[in-house]
Amino acid sequence: MEEKLTDIFAIDVFNDAKMAERLPKKTYAALKKTIENGEDLDSGVAEIVANAMKDWAIDRGATHYTHWFQPMTGITAEKHDSFISPTSDGKIIMEFSGKELVKGEPDASSFPSGGLRATFEARGYTAWDCTSPAFLRETSAGVTLCIPTAFCSYTGEALDMKTPLLRSMEAISKQAVRICRLFGNEDVNKVTTSVGPEQEYFLVDKAKYLKRDDLIFTGRTLFGAMPPKGQEMDDHYYGSLTERVASFMGELNTELWKMGVAAKTQHNEAAPAQHELAPIFTTGNIATDHNQLIMECMKKVANRHGLACLLHEKPFAGVNGSGKHNNWSLLTNTGKNLLEPGKTPHENIQFLLFFAAVLQAVDEHPELLRISASNPGNDHRLGGNEAPPAIISVYVGSQLEDVLNQLIETGEARSCKDGGRFNVGVHTIPEFKKDAADRNRTSPFAFTGNKFEFRMVASSMSVAMTNTVLNTIVADVLKDMADELESADNFDLAVHDLIKKSCTDHNRIVFNGNGYSEEWVKEANKRGLPNIRTMVDAIPALTTDKTIELFGKHHVFNSNELHSRSEVLYESYSKTINIEARTMIYMTNQQYIPAVIKYTRCLADSINSIKQALPDANVEVQKELLQETLNFLSQAELANKELLIQVSVAVSKKDGVERATYFKDMVIPAMNNLRVIIDSLELIVDKELWPVPTYGELLFEI
C-alpha cells in the first residue's frame, strides 16, 4: 500500500517534478521565476510549456483541455475543448498553443457578475494561474487537462473568487516580508499563506435521497420529524466506519491522491451519517483549488457507491450541521512558520508581533470575517448550539493568555507556563509532554499551536473569500506596524511598545471560555463585539467606506468589485430561499396533503366499517385521531397558502436588499410555521402512507 501510494500520488498533476523533467532548462527556470517571484511570463515560454503540458496530458490519455475557474457561484466552471486540429490532408493533429494555455474567453454574461457585466458586453477572460498546477481529471467522458485560471472581465475586474485571493496573497506577502526584514531576516523575500481546510459532509443512501425533492432541489431537508434517536449517545463521532462508507472513503482518497490532493485524516463526525476529511495544508490558492476538487470528488464518488453526499451546512434539523475549518498560517520562502511560538513564546518577539497582528486584524474587522463565512445554509448553524456562535472572538489558550496578560500589565513577558508532563497513572503507558494549552471547540477563531483555525466557514462554500479577507486584514495591520517600525529610532523599544499597545487595545477580542453560553452573548455585547445573526445582516459590511478603503489600499477589490459581490450575495440569498419555499409548497401540495387525506380516509373507512359490523363498538380512538389529523390538515393548508402569499410578495420586490430582507423576515418564518405542522403530522400518520423517507431512515439506514 505504502509503495502504491507513493506511485500514484500526484500522478495526474503537472507539478514541479514533471515540469523539471519535461521542460528545457531555460524554459523551466523562466517559468519558476514567474511562479515564485510573480515575474511576467514571456509568450515564447508559454508556447513551450503548453506543448510539454499537452504531450504529458496526451500520454496519460487526455483528449480535451479546459480552463478551470471559480465564478461567483461558489462552484467551479469549465468548458472543454479537444486538442484536435484538422490538417490539409483531412486528418488531425493534437495541438495546444501558448495562447490557449494562457488565455480563454468564456461568455461572461452567463455567470453572476453583480452588475459588473451586462449581457451585451459579455467579454470575459480566463487567465492561467501558473502558481496552481494543472491536473488531469477523469470522467466517463474521458480525460481532461484542467488548467486553473482566474476569471476577469474585459476591463480587468475580477469576476471570480480566485483573482482577489491571489491579490490578497500578494498583499500579505509584501507586508510580512517587510516585518521579517526588520527582524534581520534578509533572506526572506516571499511569505505565503498555508491553508488546510477540514471538510465536513453527510452521506445518505442515494435511492432514499432521490425520493426527497427537498434534498434534490435544495440540498437540505425542509421537513422531517426527529427520530427517537439523534446524536445524544455520542456514538458516531470517531465511530468505526461501515463497510459502505469505508469503501467510499478509500476510493475518494485514491482519486484525490492522484490529483495531488494530500487527503490525510478521515473520520465519522458528531452527527449520525456525518463525516470529515482533512487534507495536509498547502499554499492558500492551491488549498482553495483542492477544496473545490474535494467537494466535487465527494459527490462523484458517493454516486458510484449508491450514496449521495450532502455538503449543505444544515441538511437535518436537530442534529449537528457541517462546517469547514480554515486552518491558516504564514510561511516564509525560507521555510519558517511565522506563527510558530517555539518553546519560549514570551521571548519570541517576531512571533508575538505576528500573533498580535492577527488578533488586532480580527478585532478591527470581525464583520468582514463574518460575511466571508455567510451563506443561507450557515444561518441555521452559527449561533445554534453546535457550531461557533455568530460572535467572533479569538481563543488563544492559557499559555499565550498568560503571556499576553504579562505584556499588557508590564509591557514585558518574563515567563511562560509549560504544558508539563502527562501521566495517566498506568505504568505501561508512556508519559509524554502535554500541549501548552487545551482545545476549545466553541471558539470561532482559535489559535491551535502554530496556526489559527477559523471555524465559521460554511461547509459548501469556497474558502477563497475567507482567505481573501484574512490575508487582507492581517496585511493591513502588518503594513501599519511596518510603517511605524521602519521609522523608529530604537527598533527593540518600538517593537515592544507596539506589541504592548496592540495587545492592550485589542484584548477584548480574546475569549477563552464557553462560546455557546448565554453569558458570553451578554459579555460580548458589553465588550462591543458585533453579533451578526444572519447573512442578510452581514452583507452591508462589504460596502462600507472602511471596507472599500481597506481593500482598495491593498489592491484586492476596487469599489465596483465590492458592490458587485454584495449584489451577488443578496441575489443568491433571495434565490436560495425562494427555491426552498417553493419546494416546500410543492411538497405540501403534491405529497404531504394527499398522503394525509389518504390517511383520513383510512380512519373514516375504519370507523364506518367497524360501526357497520359492530354498531356498539368503541371507535373513539379512530375518531380522535381523525379529528386531530383533520385539524392539522387544515392548519397545513392555511400555512401553505400563507407561505405562497409571502413568497409572491417577496419576489415582487424590485430592490435586491429589500427582497432579501423580506425573504429573511417574512418568508422564513412562514416556512418554519409550515414545517412544524407537517412534522407533527408525520408523527401521527401511518408510516406506510408517509410519502418520503424519514429522518430515521435517512440518518441511520445507510
Query: Least distance in Å: CB of 322 to Mg ion?
Result: 12
558 binds, among Mg ion, ligand ADP, none (CB under 5 to 8 A by kind): none
Query: Least distance in Å: CB of 443 to ligand ADP?
Result: 12
Using CA atoms of 260, 265, 266, 268 in order, give the dihedral in degrees to the nearest 10: -150
Distance CA 236, CA 450 (A): 29
Radius of gyration (Cα) for the chain, nearest Å?
A: 28
Q: Which is nearer to ligand ADP, 450 or 680 (CB)?
A: 450
Listed in sequence order, the residues at least 6 apart from 41 whose beta carbon sits closer than 8 Å to its beta carbon are 30, 31, 34, 102, 130
Distance CA 73, CA 473 (A): 24
Q: Which is nearer to ligand ADP, 199 or 512 (CB)?
A: 199
The b-or-e profile of 569-603 (16+ CB within 10 A means b, else e) is bbbbbbbbbbebbbbbbebbeebbbebbeebbebb
Q: Which is nearer to ligand ADP, 280 or 429 (CB)?
A: 280
Per CB under 6 A, the list member of 28, 65, 281, 551 interacting with ligand ADP is: 281
194 binds, among Mg ion, ligand ADP, none (CB under 5 to 8 A by kind): ligand ADP
Q: Which residue is nearest to ligand ADP (CB)?
A: 196
Stretch that binds ligand ADP, among 188-196, 200-208, 401-409, 467-475 (CB under 6 A): 188-196
Regarding 198 and contact with Mg ion (CB under 5 A), the answer is yes
Distance CA 596, CA 598 (A): 5
Give the count of beta carbons closer than 10 Å to the beta carbon of residue 164.
Answer: 25
Q: Which is nearer to ligand ADP, 198 or 401 (CB)?
A: 198
C-beta separation of 463 from 197 below 8 A: yes
Per CB under 6 A, the list member of 169, 278, 524, 556 interacting with ligand ADP is: 278
Regarding 507 and contact with ligand ADP (CB under 6 A), the answer is no
Query: Least distance in Å: CB of 98 to ligand ADP?
Result: 34
Q: Which is nearer to ligand ADP, 467 or 629 (CB)?
A: 467
Stretch that binds ligand ADP, among 211-219, 321-329, 618-626, 643-651 (CB under 6 A): 321-329
Query: Least distance in Å: CB of 502 to Mg ion?
Result: 30
Distance CA 551, CA 519 (A): 35
Query: Least distance in Å: CB of 199 to Mg ion?
Result: 9
Residue 693 CA, chain-centre distance (Å), reads 28
Per CB under 6 A, the list member of 280, 424, 429, 683 interacting with ligand ADP is: 280
Regarding 337 and contact with ligand ADP (CB under 6 A), the answer is yes
List the alpha helices (DSSP H) in 183-242: 206-209, 213-218
Stretch that binds ligand ADP, among 3-11, 16-24, 195-203, 215-223 (CB under 6 A): 195-203
With 0-12 CB in 10 A as exposed, 13-18 as middle and 19+ as buried, what is 134? Answer: buried
Regarding 269 and contact with Mg ion (CB under 5 A), the answer is no
Query: Least distance in Å: CB of 213 to ligand ADP?
Result: 34
Query: Least distance in Å: CB of 269 to Mg ion?
Result: 9
Q: Which is nearer to ligand ADP, 15 or 266 (CB)?
A: 266
Stretch that binds ligand ADP, among 81-89, 103-111, 183-191, 274-282 (CB under 6 A): 274-282
Regarding 451 and contact with ligand ADP (CB under 6 A), the answer is yes
List the alpha helices (DSSP H) in 280-396: 284-304, 349-364, 366-372
Regarding 329 and contact with ligand ADP (CB under 6 A), the answer is yes
- Cell numbers given for 580: 426552498
Distance CA 12, CA 256 (A): 10
Regarding 328 and contact with ligand ADP (CB under 6 A), the answer is yes
Q: What amino acid is encoded at 675 in this protein?
A: R
Regarding 194 and contact with ligand ADP (CB under 6 A), the answer is yes
Per CB under 6 A, the list member of 168, 327, 348, 583 interacting with ligand ADP is: 327
Site string for ligand ADP, 408-447 (x = CB under 6 A): ----------------------------------------
Listed in sequence order, the residues at least 6 apart from 80 whose beta carbon sits closer than 8 Å to its beta carbon are 64, 65, 66, 141, 144
Which residue, among 638, 661, 637, 639, has the nearest Cα to 649 in the 3D structure? Answer: 661
Distance CA 117, CA 110 (A): 9
C-beta separation of 562 from 547 below 8 A: yes
- Cell numbers given for 96: 495546444
Stretch that binds Mg ion, among 196-204, 567-575, 579-587, 618-626 (CB under 5 A): 196-204
Regarding 195 and contact with ligand ADP (CB under 6 A), the answer is yes
Which residue, among 466, 467, 445, 439, has the nearest Cα to 387 in the 3D structure? Answer: 445
What three-state secondary structure class fits 334? Answer: coil
Stretch that binds ligand ADP, among 312-320, 325-333, 613-621, 647-655 (CB under 6 A): 325-333
- Cell numbers given for 313: 451546512
Distance CA 448, CA 294 (A): 24
- Cell numbers given for 536: 442578510
What three-state secondary structure class fits 412? Answer: coil
Q: Which is nearer to Mg ion, 441 or 546 (CB)?
A: 441
Regarding 284 and contact with ligand ADP (CB under 6 A), the answer is no
Regarding 401 and contact with Mg ion (CB under 5 A), the answer is no
The residue whose grid cell reads 515564447 is 44
Regarding 453 and contact with Mg ion (CB under 5 A), the answer is no
179 binds, among Mg ion, ligand ADP, none (CB under 5 to 8 A by kind): none
Per CB under 6 A, the list member of 114, 148, 196, 515 interacting with ligand ADP is: 196
Stretch that binds ligand ADP, among 242-250, 279-287, 458-466, 561-569 (CB under 6 A): 279-287
Q: Which is nearer to Mg ion, 86 or 239 (CB)?
A: 239
Continuous segment of H or E residues that includes residue 196: strand 191-205
Which residue, among 440, 470, 512, 520, has the nearest Cα to 370 in the 3D structure? Answer: 470
Q: What DSSP string describes 56-116? A: HHHHTTEEEEEEEB-BTTSS-B--EEE-EEE-TTS-EEE---HHHHHEE--BGGGS--TTS
137 binds, among Mg ion, ligand ADP, none (CB under 5 to 8 A by kind): none
Query: Least distance in Å: CB of 262 to ligand ADP?
Result: 8
Which residue, among 335, 330, 333, has the nearest Cα to 353 in the 3D structure? Answer: 330
279 binds, among Mg ion, ligand ADP, none (CB under 5 to 8 A by kind): ligand ADP
Regarding 279 and contact with ligand ADP (CB under 6 A), the answer is yes
329 binds, among ligand ADP, Mg ion, none (CB under 5 to 8 A by kind): ligand ADP
Site string for ligand ADP, 583-612 (x = CB under 6 A): ------------------------------
* Contacts to Mg ion by CB under 5 A: 198
Note the residues at the interface with ligand ADP (CB under 6 A).
194-196, 198, 265, 278-281, 325, 327-329, 337, 450-451
